[in-house]
Amino acid sequence: MLKNPFKAALASRKPLIGLWLNMADAYAASMAGQAGFDWLVIDGEHGPNDLRSVLHQLQALESSPSFPVVRLPVGEKWMIKQFLDIGAQTLLIPMVDTREQAEALVRAVRYPPYGERGMGAAVARASRFNTIDDYAQAADREVCLLVQAETRQALENLDAILSVDGVDGVFIGPADLAADMGFAGQLDAEPVQQAIEAALVKITAAGKPAGILTFDENLNKRYLSLGAQFVAVGGDVTEFVTALRRLASRYGRGVGAENGKGY
């Protein structure tokens, strides 16, 4: 029986703590999969990922209790069907600014007659090569579409985006939103924080899960208190580099472990 445990977890309304994976490596993903996070983003937008590397990370996470979320570089229909066919059940699509974009994405993740996804999963990992009997009937129900609102335009259109049936959650991208607002690298700027908080409250009030990523523990707690549900609290690359720099600096080597702000 086909099930998407991340989508079920979202429906529980419980907070879900996640981690960004940008190493684009199955071995590193399998390590992250044992750390205890609720969800892991395999980042195809800012990590050097392709279809094969995402496939290998999904396979590496098959036995992990952490739910994989695959972020595509862009919300293109042809790309969506390929990543769904390799078994991505939850897609995070960046830079969704309008209702029309959200509606097109919903069509792309659904089979006809409700959508435009091509039929091919019977020979793909998504159906475990046709060993999941109900895949074609259950896929539309179990797919989880998360869209990123990360521009001023997206926030202006947030009500319309939230109204689209089939959008299962809205993620606020703080770095891109800050840049679009003229505060590139300054995620803690007051206007940016005000916009983020208002958006999280609006998404939650609309009854849809709100997501965000910030490495700042105080901001994470603030966002969770405002109702954000799927909250990523760090990234593998940042943790790895910081740990190595900290170790080197203990022996007087390197340039210290402080990271730049505003990832």
Ligand X SMILES: O=C(O)C(=O)C[C@H](O)[C@@H](O)CO
Provide the minimum distance between the beta carbon of 174 and ligand X in the complex, in angstroms, as a whole number.
4
**Is-contact 45 95, C-beta < 8 A?**
no
Site for ligand X in 77-106 (CB under 6 A): 94
Nearer to ligand X, 94 or 115 (CB): 94
Q: Is 60 exposed, middle or buried (0-12, 13-18, 19+ CB in 10 A)?
A: buried
Which of 150, 168, 180, 236 contacts ligand X by CB under 6 A?
150
Nearer to ligand X, 2 or 21 (CB): 21
**Is-contact 177 218, C-beta < 8 A?**
no
CA quadruple 234, 236, 241, 244: dihedral, nearest 10: 110
Residue by residue, DSSP assigns 205-236 as HTTS-EEEE-S-HHHHHHHHHTT--EEEEEEH
Provide the minimum distance between the beta carbon of 97 and ligand X in the complex, in angstroms, as a whole number.
13
**Is-contact 169 209, C-beta < 8 A?**
yes
As annotated, the active-site residues are: 46
The answer to whether residue 173 forms part of the interface with ligand X (CB under 6 A) is: yes
Nearest to 9 by CA among 255, 249, 230, 206: 230
Provide the minimum distance between the beta carbon of 229 and ligand X in the complex, in angstroms, as a whole number.
17
From 81-89, 106-114, 135-143, 170-178, span contacting ligand X (CB under 6 A): 170-178
Which of 176, 195, 208, 223 contacts ligand X by CB under 6 A?
176
Q: At what angle do helices 77-85 and 51-60 cross, to 10 degrees?
A: 30
From 101-109, 171-179, 192-200, 251-259, span contacting ligand X (CB under 6 A): 171-179
Instruction: Please name the residue that has the structure tokens 């730049």.
Output: 260
Helix (H) / strand (E) element for 92: namely strand 90-93
**How many residues sit close enough to ligand X to count as binding (CB under 6 A)?**
12
Provide the minimum distance between the beta carbon of 176 and ligand X in the complex, in angstroms, as a whole number.
3
Site for ligand X in 205-244 (CB under 6 A): 213, 235
From 11-19, 81-89, 174-182, 245-253, span contacting ligand X (CB under 6 A): 174-182
Provide the minimum distance between the beta carbon of 157 and ligand X in the complex, in angstroms, as a whole number.
17
Site for ligand X in 41-60 (CB under 6 A): 46
Q: What are the CA-CA distances from residue 221 to residues 6, 77, 186, 218, 228 (Å)? A: 21, 36, 19, 5, 9
Applying CB under 6 A, which residues contact ligand X? 20, 46, 94, 148, 150, 173-176, 213, 235, 263
